[in-house]
Amino acid sequence: MAGRMEGRVTLITGGGSGIGRAAAVRFAREGAPVALLGRRAGPLREVAALVEAEGAPALVTPADVTREDDVRAAVAAVLERFGRLDVLVASAGSEGTLGQHLTEVSVEDWDRIMAVNVRGVFLSAKHAIPPMQRQGGGAIVVVASDSSFVATPRQVAYCTSKGAVLQFTRSLAVDLWGEHIRVNCVCPSAVDTPMLRRAVGDDLDQPGLEGIATADQVAAQILFLASDDAASMHGAALVADWGGMARSNWLV
């Protein structure tokens, strides 16, 4: 039986690890040819092998999402190999300066996290949209965060970048209204990925980390947003935060 994404060519940024890696396997399992974009070719090749083990074709496109020439070339490679582009999953991200007071954050560190988390999404979408327009439709799923809505101490740069990504999703959805290109974002809380472990260490059983999703759980949410099951969703933010935004400070 054909999968939900049968034949829908999917480009995943940050495809070498974490949420991007899990999404690649999920999409492949549902029949999507998968192109993997990331800075390091080695991890991308490892994920490509997982995609192919699911019976789907894979393409490795090493690139830096902060560099427009790299992103442009990656999209061109996808079109040369597969002839179309149906889905963009903008998953590349950086935790940046977690744990630092704003007064301790350097301009270079601020610019670096904005480049990956915001410019990377902008460039990926900018170059994915034209082929989607030519073929009459597509879907873009951005990996945002619950930090798009709520703030955590000493994470000003990260929270600012994810707030920008949320509004990017909404604004782009407005611009693409009527073009059959849906734009949505998934907003998870803590996810067990290499990025989280870099930030907090390998001990995930600690105060403040009571709810941790697996990368595969987030990948399932991304797949839903990209699929026809979410056909009525456009400009939406799917929040998966273990009920964090629903809780009052008065709860004990």
Q: Is residue 5 part of a domain?
A: no
Q: Where are the alpha helices (DSSP H) in the chain?
A: 18-29, 41-53, 68-82, 107-114, 120-135, 156-175, 194-200, 215-226
- For 157-208, what is each residue's pLDDT tens digit? 999 999 999 999 999 999 999 999 999 999 998 767 666 556 555 555 655 6
Rounded Cα distance, 239 and 69, in Å:
33
Known catalytic residues are 158
In a domain, 177, yes or no: yes
CATH number for the domain that contains residue 77? 3.40.50.720
Q: Is residue 135 part of a domain?
A: yes
pLDDT digits (tens, 9 = 90+) for 84-106: 999 999 999 887 777 788 999 99
Task: Find out whether 64 and 39 touch, Cβ atoms under 8 Å.
Answer: yes
Is pLDDT at 2 greater than 80 in this prediction?
Answer: no
Q: Of 1-5, 45-49, 62-66, 232-236, which range is least confident?
A: 1-5
- Average pLDDT (14-38) is 96
DSSP state of 192: E
Cα–Cα distance between 148 and 200 in angstroms, integer? 20
249 occurs within a structural domain: no
Do the domain assignments include residue 3?
Answer: no
Q: Collect contacts of 112-117 with beta carbons under 8 A, ≥24 apart.
A: 113/157, 113/158, 113/161, 114/157, 114/160, 114/161, 114/164, 115/66, 116/65, 116/66, 116/92, 117/93, 117/158, 117/161, 117/162, 117/164, 117/165
Domain housing 41: 10-241
pLDDT of residue 202: 54
147 pLDDT above the threshold of 70: yes
133-151 b/e with 16+ CB inside 10 Å = b?
eeeeebbbbbbbbbbbbee
pLDDT at 239 over 80: yes
Predicted pLDDT at 251: 55
Q: How many domains does the chain have?
A: 1
Domain assignment present for 124? yes
Give a yes or no: residue 4 inside a domain. no
Q: Would you say residue 156 lies in a domain? A: yes
User: What pLDDT is recorded for position 242?
Assistant: 84
